[in-house]
Amino acid sequence: MENQNHQALIQKLLNCALACENCAAQGFKEAQNAMMEKCIPMDIDCADICMLAARLLQRGSDIAHEFLLICEKACRMCAQECAKHDHEHCKKCAQACNECADACHEHHSKLNQD
């Protein structure tokens, strides 16, 4: 695993966390019930998990790579929910989540090959 990929993944994790924070913040302003029940809580969980994943990777933690699996799942769940909504921030969030989930998956797969 080259360090370059590592940094690219960390950047995707942070991008995803920021997109989730933004999606939640915009959702709060719009105050629509459909958003509230599922989308915003998932944004917050996903942001928390992505931020911690980025930090574990940056630390070189022994548990970082296994943590990417739960992170991938959180991103997929959030992307799936955000894709149901037409808001621009939801679309951006769904995209950031899917890119992040793909990067987590790829990173984990490569490590298992090595």
Q: Which residue ranges make up the site for a copy of itself (CB under 8 A)?
A: 10, 14, 17-18, 21-22, 24-25, 28-29, 31, 33, 36-37, 40-42, 44-45, 47-49, 51-52, 54-56, 58-63, 66-67, 69-70, 73-74, 77
CB of 107 to a copy of itself, least distance (A): 16
Give 22 or 95: the residue with its C-beta nearer to a copy of itself: 22
Give residue for tokens 């959180």. 74
Q: How far is it, in rounded angstroms, from Cα 86 to Cα 92?
A: 10
CB of 57 to a copy of itself, least distance (A): 9
CB of 113 to a copy of itself, least distance (A): 22
Q: Count CB atoms within 10 A of the CB of residue 2.
A: 8
- Could you give the residue ranges of the DSSP H alpha helices within the chain? 3-30, 33-34, 40-59, 64-82, 88-113
Q: What angle do CA 72, 78, 79 make, to 5 degrees?
A: 85
Give 8 or 69: the residue with its C-beta nearer to a copy of itself: 69
Give 40 or 100: the residue with its C-beta nearer to a copy of itself: 40
